[in-house]
Amino acid sequence: MKEELMGKLTNEIEARKGELLELLSKLVAFPTVSPPARNTNGVQEFIKGYLEELGFTTDKWDVYPGDPNVVGILHGQSSDQFNSLIINGHVDVAEVGDAKEWSSSPFEAYLKDAHIYGRGVADMKAGIAASLFAIKLLKELGVTFQGDLQFQSVIGEEVGEAGTQACVERGYRGDYALVVDTSDLHIQGQGGVITGWIIVESKETFHDGIRRKIIHAGGGVKGASAIEKMMKVISGLQELERHWAVTKNYEGFPHGTNTINPAVIEGGRHAAFIADRCALWVTVHFYPNEDYEAVIKEIEQHINAVAAADPWLRDNPPQFIWGGKSMIVDRGEIFPSLEIDPEHPATKLLTTSFEKMVGQEPVVGMSTTVTDAGWLGRAGIPTAIFGPGKLEDAHAVNEKLEIQQLLDFTKVIAVFIAEWCNTKRGENQHEIF
């Protein structure tokens, strides 16, 4: 039966690729660009309706006004005994830039030279379309599920608004999760990213005319420029960054991938005053085996030690503001890291499904970018990133996706869903195929 099902799925997906491409084109037609965001209600209503037609019970709620999440659950026949699965994808897409640079409208998908073009085809509406289509085919072929199948269509990933975090906070869980984001069909984990503000602020404000009393012998005024003191903080960050590069590493990443980037600096109030405040916006990359809270603690301890060695900073210590739930609202974001377990039964099943349906071994490794997958992993849900599309095409002008890769992904995820949701929970050995 399993060989027969794989054959039927292959034939159906190849024969009905036009239907799949039409579904993807419909998703692309929704201009869900973020920023400015607050524009996903239409596409989420479409996905909600699609899920309900397939028998899912749905939950739709606003994460931000005009930007709702949709979660659908197809309840299994023996949910208490069989594995559940989360399929997760984000509906927001990157900015278009100058539309005149595009060969056609970014939101009117078209086919050319074995590719489909349009904003979001690689990042990541293809993963959503293919997953929905795979579920539809399984239902049409009479495949039933013993475990629960959950579909999370989320908002905000492009600007760190973490719709996936909102799903976790709402209590959604599963035995395994696939984030069907851009991975070139590689099975991946990821490092993490957190942004933060380091603020140096004086208790007093001084006129520019008394600078000589602050910097020269005998001046008698204990003051300082917050901008100049921030230079010491930046130097301290560079020392810690070099220390990390020497002492930390993770397989699959080039040495020194863990960086502290001083991205934006804001300071001073007017040329007639000594700067009484300076804020530094940093972006920190860390490895999959590190948690952002531990990384924050390490940075703060180091910078506080730098401040303790400076007479003025000792009395005016740096302040820290980390993360945030939105780059738009908070000017901050968090992408937790994700370690992938190649020996987890679901990861092994995904690998086997790929081998059977594509005819070659998949690449199992690490993503060089970040996705929402870390939020699921941090919630204790074993998770992998696996989706169609190449990173060089994501966010690009004339964004494109190879159609055959879309078809291959659909075949793999269809078989994986059918097998995982019909495997008893806790079984480590599976006669899968």
241/120 same-domain check: no
pLDDT at position 218 is 85
Angle formed by the axes of helices 126-140 and 2-15, nearest 10° = 120
pLDDT digits (tens, 9 = 90+) for 194-225: 999 999 999 999 989 889 888 888 888 888 99
d(C-alpha 422, C-alpha 319), whole Å: 52
The CATH number for 217's domain is 3.30.70.360
Number of domains in the chain: 2
pLDDT tens digits for range 100-129: 999 999 999 999 999 999 999 999 999 999
Biggest alpha carbon–alpha carbon distance for the chain: 91
Same domain, 221 and 252: yes
Which residue among 67, 92, 123, 399 is the active-site one?
92
Q: Is there a domain that residue 345 lies in?
A: yes
pLDDT at 223: 87
Is residue 243 located within the same domain as residue 305? Answer: yes
Q: Looking at the structure, do residues 181 and 197 belong to the same domain, yes or no?
A: no
Q: Are strands 67-74 and 110-112 parallel, antiparallel or unpaired?
A: unpaired
On whether residue 432 sits in a domain, the answer given is no
Higher pLDDT, 217 or 255: 255
Structure tokens of 242?
């070099």
pTM of the predicted protein model: 0.94
pLDDT of residue 428: 59
* 280 CB burial (10 A radius; 0-12, 13-18, 19+): buried
Pick from 294, 322, 350: which residue ends a domain? 322
288 lies in a domain? yes
> Catalytic site residue 157?
yes
- What average pLDDT does range 315-334 have in this prediction? 96
Query: Looking at the predicted structure, is the pLDDT value of residue 433 above 70?
Result: no
Q: What is the mean pLDDT of the chain?
A: 96
Last residue of a domain, one of 271, 295, 322: 322
**Which is catalytic among the residues 67, 123, 157, 419?**
157
Is 83 in the same domain as 152? yes
Question: Are both 21 and 150 inside the same structural domain?
Answer: yes
Judge whether 209 lies within some domain.
yes
Position 86 in a domain: yes
Active site residue 431: no
pLDDT in tens, 167-178: 999 999 999 999
Q: Quick: pLDDT tens for 405-419.
A: 999 999 999 999 999
Selection from 20, 1, 24, 46 nearest residue 141 by Cα: 1
Same-domain status, 26 and 167? yes
CATH number for position 53 = 3.40.630.10
Residue 429 has what pLDDT?
A: 44
pLDDT for residue 430 is more than 80: no
Domain assignment of residue 430, yes or no: no
For residue 143, the one-letter residue type is V
C-alpha 429/C-alpha 300 separation (Å) is 46
User: What is the pLDDT averaged over residues 9-37?
Assistant: 98
Q: Are 125 and 24 in contact (CB under 8 A)?
A: yes
pLDDT of residue 1: 52
pLDDT at 431: 52
Single-letter amino acid, residue 336: P
The answer as to whether 433 is a domain residue is no
- With a pLDDT cut of 90, the percent of the chain lying above it is 92
Classify residue 379: in a domain, yes or no.
yes
92 shares a domain with 201: no
pLDDT at 222: 86
Res. 44: pLDDT tops 60: yes
Q: Which token pair is 52? A: 């309900």
The reply to whether 90 and 145 lie within a common domain is yes
215 and 295 inside one domain: yes
Determine the pLDDT at residue 432: 52
Residues 374 and 238 in one domain: no
pLDDT tens digits along 236-248 = 999 999 999 999 9
* 1/191: higher pLDDT: 191
CA distance 261 to 246: 17
Give yes or no: residues 161 and 286 share one domain: no
- Cα–Cα distance measured from residue 80 to residue 424, given in angstroms and rounded to the nearest whole number: 9
Nearest to 332 by CA among 428, 193, 432, 238: 193
Would the pLDDT of 14 be above 70? yes
> How confident is the model over 326-367, as pLDDT tens digits?
999 999 999 999 999 999 999 999 999 999 999 999 999 999
pLDDT one-digit tens code per residue, 143-159? 999 999 999 999 999 99
Q: Give the per-residue pLDDT at 48.
A: 98
The boundaries of the domain holding residue 248 are: 192-322
Last residue of a domain, one of 262, 292, 322: 322
